[in-house]
């Protein structure tokens, strides 16, 4: 008899999601992200998420335009056309959705209620074999060039655990520049 070993979004998601009201200032949102050590916040005023704001949104939509973060709300800069996923969905489906849409975070919604968030790091932690899907898609997207090396990809360094927009493969591991130097220096 074959056993069902399907891993679901619920198995991998983070259920303690930090949310803010749409009227929260970008400065307050940035302070919360910094304090909690997270890279995004879900924006909601009722049970279903209305948007998502990331560190990247703050940099590209506020800081780079020299807008004072205390004078603009998260509703003005958030991504509002959210792609959401059901907690019962297969983790493979979630990884494909993230890769196809070039996103790293999926709000998890059950019957209109936010129940969690699934990040690419969650996917890689629970199901490392799906890492290749995310890495290959990141290579294809190649949205931002941070390194002269064409083999760099975004992800979590397999040595220090830090998330960076560029990692390089060294001895079968994806590592940051600092860990790469340490590994090559051994």
Please report, in range form, the residues annotated as the binding site for Zn(2+): 157, 160, 176, 179
Residue numbering of the annotated binding site: 157, 160, 176, 179
Cite the beta strand spans of the chain per DSSP E: 19-20, 40-43, 51-54, 105-110, 113-119, 153-156, 163-170, 173-175
CB 110 within 8 A of CB 145: no
- Reading the block at residue 69, the tokens are 């973060």
Residue 140 host element (H or E): helix 131-141
Residue numbering of the annotated binding site for Fe cation: 157, 160, 176, 179
């Amino acid at each position: 008899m074959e056993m069902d070993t399907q891993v679901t979004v619920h198995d991998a998601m983070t259920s303690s999601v930090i949310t803010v009201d749409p009227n929260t200032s970008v400065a307050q949102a940035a302070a919360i992200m910094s304090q909690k050590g997270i890279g995004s916040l879900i924006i909601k005023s009722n049970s279903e998420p209305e948007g998502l704001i990331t560190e990247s949104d703050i940099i590209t939509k506020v800081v780079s335009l020299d807008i004072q973060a205390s004078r603009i709300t998260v509703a003005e800069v958030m991504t509002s056309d959210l792609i959401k996923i059901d907690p019962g969905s297969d983790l493979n489906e979630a990884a494909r959705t993230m890769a196809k849409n070039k996103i790293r975070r999926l709000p998890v919604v059950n019957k209109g209620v936010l129940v969690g968030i699934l990040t690419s790091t969650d996917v890689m932690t629970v199901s490392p074999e799906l890492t290749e899907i995310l890495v290959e898609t990141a290579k294809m997207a190649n949205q931002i060039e941070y390194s002269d090396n064409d083999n760099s990809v975004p992800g979590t360094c397999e040595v220090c655990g830090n998330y960076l927009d560029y990692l390089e493969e060294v001895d079968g591991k994806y590592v940051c520049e600092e860990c790469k130097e340490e590994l090559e220096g051994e």
